[in-house]
């Protein structure tokens, strides 16, 4: 009788030991699976597989508007941007979210984020149209190149010529930042390749800034 009780006790102990081992293995397995899952989530958070526009708007909070139709923020040249509309390239910094009377106010330094679908091989002419005249030139940067918007015969229109070397190639996000200390209302930003026609040469006198570009 005593032997039977001892055997039963041993069997119960063995079963408990087996159950404990099984539970331990199950817990270790679950912890391993959860750890792998959270590592995967962390990896996806650090390197999200999302569009350039999504990353610029939601993750880095660089752009002012979210436009799903422009996933790459690709800027075509030539093009004319009406800043009173929800232009997807506008920086969140500097610009008023609401437009007024066909113009958008730039309260301090701000500009555009964009990519270029093709490598720029020609100098680019950029014209800005303000809601009112401006007496002094307007400084800006394209990536790491410094430039100046020079006045034209129209007191509210300023032109600049940007060398092709100022632009990056590929799908790298680029910036054009306008540096202003006083609020300015912008109506248009026009991009075109530099034309050497007589018509362009007498309408404006765009200038290059001093060559302070740093190559990446």
Q: b/e for 46-72, b at 16 or more Cβ within 10 A?
A: eeeeeebbbebbeeeebbbbeeeebee
Ranking 113-122, 157-166, 205-214 by mean pLDDT, the lowest is 205-214
Supply the pTM of this predicted model.
Answer: 0.70
70-89: average pLDDT: 95
Neighbours of 193 (CB within 10 A): 13
What is the rounded distance in angstroms from the CA atom of residue 127 to the CA atom of residue 70? 22
Neighbours of 81 (CB within 10 A): 20
Residue 51, token pair as written in the block: 């569009």
Residue 9, token pair as written in the block: 């006790």
For 7, phi and psi rounded to 5 degrees? Answer: -65, -40
198-215, pLDDT tens digit by residue? Answer: 444 434 444 444 333 333
Q: Are 84 and 161 in contact (CB under 8 A)?
A: no
Neighbours of 172 (CB within 10 A): 12
């Amino acid at each position: 009788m005593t032997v039977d009780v001892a055997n039963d006790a041993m069997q119960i102990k063995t079963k408990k030991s087996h159950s404990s081992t099984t539970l331990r293995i199950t817990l270790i397995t679950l912890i391993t699976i959860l750890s792998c899952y959270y590592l995967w989530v962390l990896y996806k958070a650090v390197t999200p597989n999302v569009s350039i526009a999504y990353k610029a708007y939601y993750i880095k909070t660089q752009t002012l508007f979210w436009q799903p139709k422009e996933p790459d923020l690709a800027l075509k040249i030539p093009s004319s941007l009406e800043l009173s509309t929800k232009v997807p390239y506008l920086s969140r910094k500097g610009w008023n979210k609401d437009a007024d009377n066909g113009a958008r106010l730039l309260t301090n330094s701000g500009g555009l984020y964009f990519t270029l679908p093709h490598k720029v091989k020609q100098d680019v002419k950029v014209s800005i149209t303000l809601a009112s005249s401006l007496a002094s030139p307007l400084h800006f940067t394209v990536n790491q190149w410094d430039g100046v918007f020079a006045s034209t015969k129209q007191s509210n229109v300023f032109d600049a010529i940007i060398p092709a070397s100022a632009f990056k190639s590929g799908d790298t996000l680029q910036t054009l930042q306008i540096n202003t200390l006083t609020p300015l209302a912008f109506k248009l930003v026009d991009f075109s390749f530099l034309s050497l026609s007589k018509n362009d040469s007498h309408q404006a006198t765009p200038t290059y800034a001093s060559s302070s570009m740093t190559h990446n």
